[in-house]
Structure 1
Amino acid sequence: MACKCFKEIEEKMDARMRKHYGENAAEIDESSFANQVYLFEEGDFCNVMLPYLFRFYKRKKNGDLEQRLTNGDTKVAINYCPFCGTKFEGAAKEKESAH
């Protein structure tokens, strides 16, 4: 990653939450950012994505709206660190081989 902000903020938040809840938090199950993704492409990417909600009603063949709500939610990739502003460079450039 271009910066270490997410790791540093995660560590600070974990310490702050543990201090805030003290002994009431007998056992911590999870402490991290939500919406993390695994990236299988090499390069400099942010592994936390912003959720984007898109809920809608489909139209039936007779023109009426369906009763159930359709979930079309997705995630938006972050190109710049929201904490320090560093740009994530994206996919790694393949090194040109000498011929």
Structure 2
Amino acid sequence: MGKCNCFDETLEAMKAHIIEKLPEGVVDFEASWEGHSFILSDRDHVPVNPQINYTYRKIKKDKTPAANLSKGQVKVFCSYCPFCGREIGEDSK
């Protein structure tokens, strides 16, 4: 199976759907995937990788919870297209 265009096709479909819902006469509309990956290789890859955001509250030295939350994130590198299920190959050939 060749390389899929699922992300491009989905983004274009979503742009069209969003534009329909916006007030008439809107200008300078842009939409893009969050978490876009730029990979310096010719290997086949999913262009957008989901991100999991998390928060937690640290415990201070006096054993009480800190006032502020700490934040972190983990990006998930896909080995399958989440739209069509195509397995990502070793290279783009």
In which range does the TM-score fall when normalised by the shorter chain? 0.7 to 0.9
Work out whether residues 2 and 87 of structure 1, in 8 Å CA contact, stay in contact via their aligned partners in 2: no
CA distance in 2, matches of 1:17, 1:51: 23
Work out whether residues 14 and 31 of structure 1, in 8 Å CA contact, stay in contact via their aligned partners in 2: yes
CA-to-aligned-CA distance 1:7-27 (integer Å, 9 cap, x gap): 111112212222332524222
Aligned length: 90
Any gaps of 5 or more consecutive residues in structure 1? 93-99
Compute the TM-score of the two structures, normalised by the length of structure 1: 0.75
Which one has the largest radius of gyration?
1
- Structure 1 runs (4+) deviating above 6 angstroms are none
Residue matched to 2:9: 8
Matches within 5 A, 1:1-99: 2-21=3-22, 23-28=24-29, 30-90=30-90, 92=91
CA distance in 1, matches of 2:23, 2:16: 10
The 3-state SS of whatever aligns with 1:73 is: strand
CA distance in 2, matches of 1:76, 1:85: 16
CA distance in 1, matches of 2:79, 2:25: 38
Q: Cα–Cα, structure 1 residues 22 and 63, in superposed 2: closer, same or farther, change >3 Å?
A: closer
How high is the sequence identity, in percent, across the aligned residues?
A: 28
The 3-state SS of whatever aligns with 1:15 is: helix
Any gaps of 5 or more consecutive residues in structure 2? none
The 3-state SS of whatever aligns with 2:84 is: coil
CA distance in 1, matches of 2:67, 2:42: 43
CA-to-aligned-CA distance 1:35-67 (integer Å, 9 cap, x gap): 212222331111211121221111222222211
Amino acid at match of 1:53: N
CA distance in 1, matches of 2:82, 2:50: 11
